[in-house]
Each structure stands twice: as structure tokens, then as C-alpha cells.
Amino acid sequence: MADSPVDPTDDRSMRERMVAGDLYLADDPELDEESHVAQDLMGAYNATHSRQRPLRRALLEQLLGSVGEETAIRPPLYVDFGSHLTIGARCFVNYGLMALDVAPITIGDDVQIGPHVQLLTPTHPLEPGPRRDKWEAARPITLGDNVWLGGGVIVCPGVSIGANTVVGAGSVVTKDLPADVVAVGNPARVVKPLP
């Protein structure tokens, strides 16, 4: 690529670049294949019903980086790779989680996630040329223990949310939130501390 934004002496694979949070080509064949495997597992998981708990658990264990004991995730679930998503114990994830796990997404124990929440790690260059050429990067997301995300919350790339924090429905979290607060709005802002 003539105007590649990447150092030509960098010989890392696109997967290595992606995991490191550096620019990588989104349509790399190796990454594309990994994504297809995840899509197949995701499709199988999303086709299950509530009485198929052992099958659901087995599919989640194949799809995700890890999933804690007594964690329930209601389908549909949407991921890019699944392998970069780790979820702690005793979590509840309602319908329609979109976890674009290009970078790691780490969810602590006892987390509650409302319906149609989006956890978005990908970023894109602002310059039109590299963006047109399919270069992108990503930044990790971390949710501490006992976080509650209301329905429709969007968490942007690179955000960490501290333990026990509650984020109101429909909020857009663009910056880190500390532990033990309630945050609401677009962009989300702290409105009160929790006892």
C-alpha cells in the first residue's frame, strides 16, 4: 500500500498489531477467518432456547475468552471474535449485547448489563485515506465488579468503569468512570456518589 500509515519495517502479523492496539488491516485474511469461526459459534448460540442451558454453556466456553460460573447471557449476543471477551462470575447479560472485541473487553464479577448494550473497542483513523484503505485500531474496555449498565448504554473505546458504578439507560460513556458513582447522559457524567 503506497500510503500505508504503518512503518514498513514492522513485520508483525495483523493479529499481533490488532491485539496490541496498533493499526491493522480490518480485512486481513487471517483475521477474517477467525471472525468467521466466531460467527459460526455465535449463530449456533443465538439459535438456542432457554431450556438448552448445557448447550449454551458449552457454546459460550468455545466462543468467549472465558465465562464465569453462574453467568447468564441471553441471546442474541454479537461479537467480532469472542476470544477477547472475558466475563466474570454471577453476571447477567440481557438480550442483544454487542461486544465488538477487537481489543480485550474485561467484565468483572456480579455485573448486570441491560438489553441492547454496546461495548465498542474499534477506532478508525480520522484521515480519509487510511480509513478508506481499511486501517483501524482498537482500545480495551474494562467493567469492574458489580457494575450495572442500563438498557441501551454505549461504552466507547478505551473506557474503564469502576466497581459498583451504575450507568443510566441510554447513556454514552466516552471517558473513564470512577468506582461507586451513578452516571447518566450523553456524554455520561457523574451525577451522584453511591454510599
Task: Give the count of alpha carbons within 13 A of 132, CB side only.
Answer: 5
Place of cell 454487542: 98
Query: What pLDDT is attached to residue 93?
Result: 98
pLDDT of amino acid 144: 98
All cell numbers assigned to 47: 439459535
Task: Count CA atoms within 13 Å of residue 44 on its CB side.
Answer: 14
Answering whether pTM is above 0.75, one says: yes
Question: Which strand ranges, in their side-by-side order, compose the sheet holding 118-120?
Answer: 77-79, 97-100, 118-120, 154-155, 172-173
- pLDDT averaged per 10 residues, the chain (length 195): 67 90 91 95 96 95 98 97 97 98 97 98 94 94 98 98 98 98 98 96
User: What does the pLDDT read at residue 2?
Assistant: 43
* pLDDT for the residue 1: 41
Q: Catalytic residue, from 49, 84, 116, 124: name it.
A: 124
pLDDT for res 176: 98
Q: Is 30 exposed, middle or buried (0-12, 13-18, 19+ CB in 10 A)?
A: exposed
Question: Are the CB atoms for 186 and 168 separated by under 8 Å?
Answer: no
- The reported pLDDT for the residue numbered 3 is 58
Q: 14-190 has which fold?
A: UDP N-Acetylglucosamine Acyltransferase; domain 1 (2.160.10)
Is 84 a residue of the active site? no
The alpha carbon of 67 is separated from its chain's Cα centroid by a whole number of angstroms, namely 14
Q: What is the pLDDT of residue 28?
A: 92
